[in-house]
Amino acid sequence: MASSLTKDPASTAGGEKTFFGHPRGLATLFMTEMWERYSFYGMKALLPLYLIAPGGMHMSATTATAIYSVYMAMVYLLAMPGGWMADRFWGPRKTVAIGGGVVILGHITLAVPNSASFFAGLVLVALGSGLLKANISTMVGHLYNGPEDPRRDGGFTLFYIGINLGAFLAPLTIGTIGENVNWHFGFALAAIGMALGLAQFMLGTRHLSPESDVVSTPATEQEKRSVLRKGLVWLIVAAVFYSLLAITGNFADWALLPITVAGLIIPVAVLVRMKRDKELTDTEQSKLSGYIWFFVVAAVFWMIYDQNGSTLSIFGENSTTNSVFGIDFPTSWYQSLNPIFIMAIAPVVASGWLWLNKRGKEPSTAVKFASSLVLIGISFVVFMIPLIDTAANGGRVSPMWLVAIYFIQTVAELCLSPVGLSVTTKMAPAKYSSQMMGVWFLAVTAGDSVTGLLTSPQLGVDLNTTAAVAFEAVLAVIAGVGIWMYRKKVTQHMSDAS
C-alpha cells in the first residue's frame, strides 16, 4: 500500500514533531543517506571515466565496464554480511556508524595517486557501503508500526528522495572537479561528503527507534571465535591467490573472475539456505517463495539499469556532443539526470499509488515489477537508435538521446526500487530481519555480476553494440511479460504484504 508524503495528524502522538508527517528519525536517516550517496555516486560517476581516460588508467571500454560492474556487484554483495553483522554482533545503528568510517577511509585511499592504493580504496568503499546500506534501510522500517502502518511506503519513497538528492549533487561537484581539475581531488571530495553524513548521523541518533540498537540474534563467544577464525582463513586464501596471479603475470586476466562467479553463486546459495530453514513458519516460507520471483525480476532489471554508469556513460564520453545551447559540460553530469528525474517524479508516483489505492485500483507489487522490466527494455530500444546512427555515420549524436533513455529508466526504477525496499521489510522472516535487506541488494549483485562476466577478459563482450543492446532489450520485455502472466500466483504467496 502506498502512502502520501504529507503530514497525517492521526499518526502523531502528543503533537510530536514530524518530518513531512513521518517520524522525526526519518530526517536523520534521510540526511545520512543523502551524504553517503553523495560520496558514493560522485565516485561512481568518476570511476568508468577515470579507468578509460589517458590521464587515468587508460583501459579499454570493455575492461572498464568489467571493473565497474564487479565493483558495483561487491558493494551490494557485502550488504548481506553487513546485515548479518548487525543481527549477530553490533545492531543496525552501530553497524552504520562503523560502515561510514570505513567508507571515509576508502575515499581517502582513492585520493592517493597510486594504482595499487586505488584498488584498495575500491575494496574499502565497497566494504563500508555493505555495512551501511542494508542497515540504514532497515532502520527506516523500524520507525513505523509494522507492515500495516499506512505511512510506510511513503516513508521509503521520501527516504529514496534523500538518496537521489545526494546522487544529483555529486556528479555536478565531484564529477566536475574530478574531470576538469584532478581525478584524485574528486575522490577526496567524496570523503568529505561521507564525513558530513556520519557526523549528522551521530548528532541525530537520539531520534531513531530503540529497536535499531537491538542485536536480534546475538552470537555466542564460540560463534565469535569461529567467525574470526574463518575470516582469517579466507583472507589468507585470497592473499595467496592474488599474489600468485601477480607473480605469474596473469593478474589482469583472472583477478575479476573469482569475484564475478561468487557474485552469481552466493545470492542463489543464500536463498536456498533460507528456503531450507526449518525454523521458518509456513507463512514465512510462503512469503519467501513469492519473494524469489521479485528477486529474479530485480536481478534482470539491475543488470541493464546499472549500465547507466558504464555502458551509457562511456557512450556519452565517446559518442555524444556533451553540449547544450553551446555550453559544454563534463560527461559525469549525465549521472545527475536520473536522480533529478526521481526527485521530480517520485512524489507524483507515490501520490498516484495512493489515489489508485483509495479507488481499489492500485496495481499489485507483481504488476509494478513487470512494468519496470518492460520499461527498462524500452529504454534500450531507444538506445539502439543513436547506436545505429553512430555506427553508420560516425561522429557524435545529441545528448538528448541519453536524456530520453535516463528518463524512461527512472520511471522504470520507481516501479521497482522503492517498492522493492518496502516489500522486503514486509516479507522478511523475523529471523532474518536485517539480513533480508541484504538479500534484496543481492539482486543487484547478481545482475551486475552477469555484466561483469560478459565483459570480463574471458568473454570480452562489447556492450556498446547494437546486437548486445537489442538482446538485453528483448530479454527485459520477455521477463516482464513472464512475471505479469504469473502475477496472481506471486500475489498468493505474499499474503498480507501485497
- The answer to whether the CB of 194 falls within 8 A of the CB of 35 is yes
Percent over 90 (pLDDT), the chain: 32
From CA 166, how far away is CA 64, in angstroms rounded?
Answer: 24
Rg (CA), the chain: 22
* From 300-314, 356-370, 371-385, the region with the lowest mean pLDDT: 356-370
Structural domain count, the chain: 1
pLDDT tier at 6, thresholds 50, 70, 90: very low
Domain with 138 in it: 20-208+256-497
Amino acid at 440: W
230-256 per-position pLDDT tens digit: 889 988 988 888 788 778 766 666 778
pLDDT per residue over 473-496, tens digit each? 999 999 888 888 776 766 666 655
Q: What confidence score (pLDDT) does residue 7 get?
A: 39
CATH of the domain at 107: 1.20.1250.20
Give the model's confidence band at 398: pLDDT under 50 very low, under 70 low, under 90 confident, else very high: very high
Among 249, 253, 245, residue whose Cα is nearest residue 457: 253
Average pLDDT over residues 19-24: 76
Asked if pLDDT for residue 198 goes beyond 90, the answer is yes
Cα distance between residue 8 and residue 496, in whole Å: 23
14 confidence band (pLDDT: 50, 70, 90): very low
Report if residue 246 sits inside a domain. Answer: no
233 belongs to a structural domain: no
Q: What is the pLDDT of residue 335?
A: 93
With respect to residue 136, please indicate whether it lies within any of the assigned structural domains. yes
Query: Are the C-beta atoms of residues 368 and 281 closer than 8 Å to each other?
Result: no
The span from the CA of 102 to the CA of 132, in Å, is 10
Please check whether residue 216 lies inside any domain of the structure: no
CA–CA gap between residue 373 and residue 305 (Å, rounded): 10
pLDDT at 422 over 50: yes
Q: Is residue 400 part of a domain?
A: yes
214 within domain boundaries: no
Residue 147 banded pLDDT, cuts 50, 70, 90: low
SS (H, E, C) the chain: CCCCCCCCHHHCCCCCCEECCEECHHHHHHHHHHHHHHHHHHHHHHHHHHHHCCCCCCCCHHHHHHHHHHHHHHHHHCHHHHHHHHHHHHCHHHHHHHHHHHHHHHHHHHCCCCHHHHHHHHHHHHHHHHHHHHHHHHHHHHCCCCCCCCCHHHHHHHHHHHHHHHHHHHHHHHHHHHHHCCHHHHHHHHHHHHHHHHHHHHHHHHHCCHHHHCCCCCCCHHHHHHHHHHHHHHHHHHHHHHHHHHHHCCHHHHCCHHHHHHHHHHHHHHHHHHHCCCCCCHHHHHHHHHHHHHHHHHHHHHHHHHHHHCHHHHHHHHHECCEECCEECCHHHHHHHHHHHHHHHHHHHHHHHHHHHHCCCCCCHHHHHHHHHHHHHHHHHHHHHHHHHHHHHCCCECCHHHHHHHHHHHHHHHHHHHHHHHHHHHHCCHHHHHHHHHHHHHHHHHHHHHHHHHCCCCCCCCCCCHHHHHHHHHHHHHHHHHHHHCHHHHHHHHHHHC
Q: What is the mean pLDDT of residues 331-339?
A: 93
Q: Is the pLDDT of residue 380 over 90?
A: yes
Q: Which residue has the higher pLDDT, 4 or 452?
A: 452
pLDDT of 494 reads: 62
Q: Which of the residue ranges 142-146, 313-317, 487-491 would you say has the lowest mean pLDDT?
A: 487-491
Question: Residue 320 pLDDT > 90, yes or no?
Answer: yes
Confidence of residue 9 (pLDDT cuts 50, 70, 90): very low
CA dihedral 373, 374, 376, 381 (to 10 degrees): 150
C-alpha 229 chain-centroid distance: 30
pLDDT band at 379 (very low <50, low <70, confident <90, very high): very high
CA 421 to CA 302: how far, in whole Å? 14
pLDDT band at 397 (very low <50, low <70, confident <90, very high): very high
pLDDT in tens, 98-140: 999 999 999 999 998 877 788 889 889 999 988 887 788 788 8
Q: What does the pLDDT read at residue 5?
A: 36
Using 50, 70 and 90 to split pLDDT, how confident is the model at 2? very low
pTM of the shown model: 0.83
Mean pLDDT estimate for the chain: 84
pLDDT at 157: 72
pLDDT at residue 364 is higher than 60: yes
Residue whose cell numbers read 481499489 = 360
Is residue 3 in some structural domain? no
pLDDT of residue 497: 53
In a domain, 108, yes or no: yes
